[in-house]
Amino acid sequence: MLGRLIGRTGLLLALISPVAVAQQYPAKVITILVPAAAGGPTDTVARVLAPPMAKDLKGQVIVENAGGAGGTIGAGRVARSQGDGYTLYLYHIAHSTFPALYRKLTFDPVKDFEPIGRVTDVPMTLVSKKDLPAKDFKELLAWIKANGKKVSIANAGVGSASHLCGLLFMQAIQTELTPVPYKGTGPAMNDLLGGQVDLMCDQTTNTTSHIKSGKIKVYAVTTKTRVASLKDVPTLDELGLKNFELSAWHGLWAPKGTPKPIVEQLSKALQVALKDPTVVQRFADLGTAPVKDSDATPAALQGQLKSEIERWGPIIKAAGQYAD
């Protein structure tokens, strides 16, 4: 009787041990939560990645959008989710700027998440509505200086990459503009296309197609060197904003407590997906590229997150920017 009981308990323990969990994984649909609106840059990256990851995992991967407050609403939801491998979180540089920008955060970006790997470093572009009169960056600066706070600049909320870029841009040109927050730069782009806002600094994953079709104007890219798919567009550094350098590095995380074998399986699936020719091509069309294998790992993402928290903390604090 006792032997049978121990036998059953042992079986039960074996069933719920991390290795056993990983062996059955995935047994249901995996959700990648994107903490921004549908149709925006993070959503695009997630939807490009999901099918090849699903193929490698031999399961189903779907994308869910939970935008708002620069991504902190979705990030908080993931932090409170069960670490069972069925909720993942794809976000970018914003995950490292939250602690400096928010006085009250309901989660800890390091302690509440299990890193899976880095994904891609997306360049950003300074773009405007089509009928803005300035035909180049010099004219844009003159127009901005003449109009000051009358100039609106869209972003995806305090903490988003577009917010950070706008902040750095205003600092660099020493002029305050009027930021207009959205739940993601997907909806912000709709307003830029419609001419309801003047400017936006947004990722190439959201701006490239509209730039190429002439529906918006582009003045500069934010990376140190030019972007291959937009090779005629100068860098802000070239245009005189010395050392302006920003790209939205992306990472894939799971909630804390996700079993190690599952994290490893997800990391491998991420590496496989990033080498998929369709992903490579799609990213190239969108002005970006997958990170190398050695960066699509938990250790590389954790290192990146920690060094970026240290990098942005003092810069943001010096800018005196906070959200409650």
Residues in contact with ligand ASP by CB under 6 A are 36-37, 40-43, 94, 156, 160-162, 184-186
Shortest gap between Cβ of 156 and ligand ASP (angstroms)?
A: 4
Q: Which is nearer to ligand ASP, 200 or 269 (CB)?
A: 200
Q: Which is nearer to ligand ASP, 61 or 154 (CB)?
A: 154
Task: Extract long-range pairs of 167-173: CB within 8 Å, 24+ residues apart.
Answer: 167/316, 167/319, 167/321, 168/244, 168/246, 169/126, 169/201, 169/236, 169/241, 169/244, 171/319, 172/236, 172/241, 172/244, 173/141, 173/144, 173/145, 173/241
Q: Which is nearer to ligand ASP, 100 or 262 (CB)?
A: 100
Closest CA to 166 of 90, 65, 236: 236
Q: How many CA atoms lie within 13 A of 240 on its CB side?
A: 5
Specify whether the CB–CB gap between 42 and 161 falls below 8 A. Answer: no
Shortest gap between Cβ of 120 and ligand ASP (angstroms)?
A: 13
Shortest gap between Cβ of 43 and ligand ASP (angstroms)?
A: 6
Q: Which is nearer to ligand ASP, 272 or 309 (CB)?
A: 309
Q: Which is nearer to ligand ASP, 68 or 83 (CB)?
A: 68
Shortest gap between Cβ of 3 and ligand ASP (angstroms)?
A: 57
Shortest gap between Cβ of 64 and ligand ASP (angstroms)?
A: 13
CA distance 28 to 49: 18
Q: Which is nearer to ligand ASP, 210 or 263 (CB)?
A: 210
Q: Which is nearer to ligand ASP, 201 or 263 (CB)?
A: 201
Shortest gap between Cβ of 126 and ligand ASP (angstroms)?
A: 13
Shortest gap between Cβ of 191 and ligand ASP (angstroms)?
A: 13
CA distance 66 to 33: 7
